[in-house]
Homo-oligomer: A and B are copies of this chain.
Amino acid sequence: MSSTNAVASDEIGSNAQRERRERILDATIALASKGGFDAVQMRAVAEQADVALGTLYRYFPSKIHLLVTALAREFERAESTLATRTISGDTPADRVISVLRRTTRGLQGDPHLTDALTRAFMFADKSAAQEIHAVGMLLTRMLTRAMHPGTDEVSDDDIAIARVIGDVWLSALVAWVTGRSTAEETAAHMERAVRLILR
Contact = CB atoms under 8 A, between A and B. Distances in A.
Interface of A: 119, 122-126, 129, 132-133, 157, 160-161, 163-164, 166-168, 170-172, 174, 178-180, 189, 192-193, 196-197
A196 B160 contact: yes
B196 A164 contact: yes
A119 B189 CA distance: 23
A133 B122 CA distance: 19
- How many copies of this chain? 2
Given A123-B119, A157-B196, A197-B196, A168 B164 contact: yes
B125 A178 contact: yes
Most chain B Cβ neighbours within 10 Å, of A166, A170, A178: A178
B122 A179 contact: no
Contacts of A164: 164, 168, 193, 196-197
A165 to B, nearest CB: 9
Nearest to A194: B164
A167 B172 contact: yes
Nearest to A118: B122
Given A164-B164, A164-B193, A197-B197, 14 more contacts: A119-B122, A119-B123, A122-B123, A123-B178, A126-B178, A129-B179, A163-B193, A164-B168, A164-B197, A166-B171, A167-B168, A167-B171, A167-B193, A196-B197
